[in-house]
Structure 1
C-alpha cells in the first residue's frame, strides 16, 4: 500500500485504494480514510491543503471537466478560466470558492477553440495548458493531478489517440492522464481497439466510465476489466465501486471508489433510470459485506431479518452487533461511515496478500462466496422480498483465474 504522506508524484498512487469524494461531502470522510482521497469538483485546492494538514496520505485532484465538456481530437483537454489571483487567498488560509465548488467562477473554455470570455487562446492541450493546477497542487502538497480531459465519446478512436499522444509528449511526474470514456466503449465492437491503444500508451492513466448505472453490469464487462488490469501498464480505475478492488487485485496500479453513487461512475445525461414501481424506495446505498454489494437502506430494512447472519456486520461502525437494517430515517446518515469501514476491511484483506495469484484467488473466491450467499438468501424469499443480484457480482463470481 502507498507510502509516506506528502510524497509528490504519481508513483505514490501505486497499489492505492482511494476514496473519490465531492468537496461538499468532505466532512463525511475522516482523515486517514483508506489510502487517501481523490478530491472531485471544480475548486478543491484549499480543501486539499486542509486535508494534507489533517494527515491524509495520498491526495489526488480531479477537476471533473469531463462532466461538462466533450473532448475532440483537436482539443482533448479543457481548461477553465482560472487565474492565479483567484487563488492568492490560499496562502492566507481563505478558501478560493465555496465548499461545494465555485462552478460559475471556474467556467470551462470552449472545447474546440480553447477560448474563454475575454481570452484569446488556442485549443487547450498539455502543450499550451496554464500550469496553474500543477503549481497549486504542489503548493498544497497534492500527490498528483488528473488531466482535465473532456468526455471521450464511445468509438471516438481519433480523440482517444489524441489524448494519449498529447499526454505522452508532455507528461509530468505529478500528472495522471484522465480517460473519461462515454457509455458504449465497453461494447464488443470497440473493446479490441480500446485494449490495443491503452496497452501501447506510456505513463499513468486513470480510467472512468460514463453510464446511467453500473458500467460493469454490462455483459462481459468484468472480463474486459480483468484484461485491462492484467495487461495495461500503470492503469488506474477511478470513479468506480468494488470493481476497483477487483481491478487492483488483478494488477491495476490504483483505484478510487466513489463515496456517493454518482461518484461510482460518470452519470449519463438525463440522470438515473426512472423508478421501477416497486413498493418501497431503495434508500441510501449500504454495502453489505456478506453479499459484497450495495443495497438500498430502506430495502434492507424491509427485506432483511435484523437477526439474520446477513444483517450482521463486523465493521467498526457496526459494533457491537448493530444490524444493517438500521439505515433509515435519522440513522441513514450513518451509512457513509459503515461503507467506509467495510471498504477498510477489504483493503486490509487485499494488502495482506502478495501481488499476483494470491490476490486474484482471494478476490474471485470472495465474490463467488458472496454471490452464492445472495442467491441462497433470495432462494428462501418470496419474489417481492428478494434483493437485487448485481450483474457485476455474478460476472466476478464466474470469472476464472488465468
Structure 2
C-alpha cells in the first residue's frame, strides 16, 4: 500500500474534513503525519542531500534536512526527486533548551511574537510533507516543560505535525521512563524521541537501553529520531518510523551549548557502517587500532565494489562514497526486515544482535584486538 493509500485508509473523517488542522482529538497513529511516515526509514542529512536523495526509495524512505538552509533547499529537491518525502528539522533540536513558558523556539523579531501555528505553516508553505515542532531540549528532572510542549502542540499543531522530544538520557532510566511514556502518550501527534549527549552515544549508559525499548513498545506512533542502528531496535518494538543520521553529529541529540566536539579535528576520514556488526567506525581508527598488522575485510555492497572497510579517506569523493555505502547497508537491512513472512521483527532483530556479537568475536580473533559489541546492542541482546 502506498503512503497516499495509507492516508486514505487511516485518516478518520473528522480529520480529513478539517484539512490540515486537527478538529478533534485524533489518536496520534491516525493522523496524516502517521500515515505518511508509517514504516519508513528516513535519512537525516544536510549538504549531501542532492547527491543522496536519488538513492532513496520514495515508498519506504524519506529525507530530513538539518541546519538552517532547509527552506531554500526543499523545493529544488522536490523538483529533482518527485514523490520523495521531504521535511526539515528545526535548529531548536540542538540549539535551544525548553522551559515551561517557552517549550518551543519561536521568533520574537517581529512586531508580534511568532506562534507555533505560524512556524508550522511556514514549513508546509516551503514544501515540507510533514511539519516538525521547534521543541527545545528537556533536561532531566523537570516534567512541566515536557507536559506544556505536548499541551501546546495538541492545541496549535496540525494533522501533518510531528512533535520532537529531545531528552536527557536520564529520562529513559527506570525511575523516569514511566513518566516520560505517560506524557508522550497524551500527544495527539506522532512523537519523535531524540536522546541527547554531545560527546558520546546517549544510549550507552546503564538502564537507558531498557528504557528506550520500553518507550517504543508503549508509545503509539513514536519515531526514533537522530539515531543510528538503534533505529532498528525501535522499529522492532513497534516504532512508526526511524530517522538515521548521515553524520555522527546527526545520529544523536546535542545538548545546547555543549558540542559536538571531535577528539582530532584534523582527522576528516569518514565513519563507515560495518556490515553485520551493527556499528559505525572511523576509517582512520580502524587502520590504526584494528588493522595495523592485518588486512581489513572488503565490502561487496552495490556501492563499494570490494573496497576494504578502512580504505575511505578524508577526500570529498571518499566521504561521499562512504555515505553511499552507509545508506546502502541501511537500505539492505531495512528491506530484509520488511520482507519478513514467518519471522517477527523482534525475532529478526534478535538474530541481527546475535550475529553481530559473533562477528565481533571473529574480528577480535583475526586481529588479536579486543573489539566489543557496542554497549546498547549488548544490553538489548541480554534483555531478551
Is the CA contact 1:293–1:393 (under 8 Å) kept in the aligned structure 2?
A: no
Is the CA contact 1:180–1:210 (under 8 Å) kept in the aligned structure 2?
A: yes
C-alpha separation in 1, matches of 2:336 and 2:178: 33
C-alpha separation in 2, matches of 1:27 and 1:306: 39
Is the CA contact 2:117–2:157 (under 8 Å) kept in the aligned structure 1?
A: no
Deviations 1:341-360 (A, max 9, x none): 11111111121126x96111
Q: Which of 251, 259, 283 pairs up with 1:271?
A: 259
* Structure 1 residue 370: Cα displacement: 0.7
Q: How does 1:237-316 map to 2 (within 5 A)?
A: 237-268=224-255, 269-272=257-260, 275=263, 283-302=269-288, 303-304=290-291, 311-316=297-302
Q: Which of 39, 42, 50 pairs up with 1:18?
A: 42
Q: How many residue pairs are counted as aligned between the two chains?
A: 349
Which has the higher mean CA deviation after the structures are superposed, 203-212 or 30-39? 30-39
Is the CA contact 1:281–1:299 (under 8 Å) kept in the aligned structure 2?
A: no
Deviations 1:107-128 (A, max 9, x none): xxxxxxxx43x6343xx6xxx4
1:61 aligns with 2:97: no
Q: Structure 1 runs of 4+ off > 6 angstroms?
A: 305-308
* Structure 1 residue 297: Cα displacement: 0.6
Q: 1:108 maps to which residue? A: none
* Structure 1 residue 78: Cα displacement: 1.5
C-alpha separation in 2, matches of 1:77 and 1:343: 32
Q: Which of 164, 169, 176 pairs up with 2:150?
A: 164
Unpaired segments of 5 or more residues in structure 2?
A: 8-19, 21-31
Secondary structure at the aligned position of 2:192 is classed as strand
Unpaired segments of 5 or more residues in structure 1?
A: 81-114
CA change 1:13–1:304 in 2 (3 A) is: same
Is the CA contact 2:169–2:195 (under 8 Å) kept in the aligned structure 1?
A: yes
Q: Which of 111, 117, 121 pairs up with 1:119?
A: 111
Q: 2:3 maps to which residue? A: 3
Deviations 1:374-397 (A, max 9, x none): 023224444xx4445311221233
Is the CA contact 1:2–1:14 (under 8 Å) kept in the aligned structure 2?
A: no
CA change 1:160–1:186 in 2 (3 A) is: same
CA change 1:376–1:315 in 2 (3 A) is: same
Is the CA contact 1:182–1:210 (under 8 Å) kept in the aligned structure 2?
A: yes
C-alpha separation in 2, matches of 1:188 and 1:358: 27
More helix by share: 2
Deviations 1:210-269 (A, max 9, x none): 102111111132222221111100111111111112211220011100011101112234
* Structure 1 residue 328: Cα displacement: 2.4
Q: 1:391 maps to which residue? A: 375
Q: Which of 56, 60, 65 pairs up with 1:33?
A: 56
Secondary structure at the aligned position of 2:171 is classed as coil
Is the CA contact 1:305–1:311 (under 8 Å) kept in the aligned structure 2?
A: no
1:214 aligns with 2:201: yes
- Root mean square deviation of aligned Cα: 2.9
Q: 1:360 maps to which residue? A: 346
Q: How does 1:170-249 map to 2 (within 5 A)?
A: 170-211=156-197, 212-249=199-236
Secondary structure at the aligned position of 2:323 is classed as helix
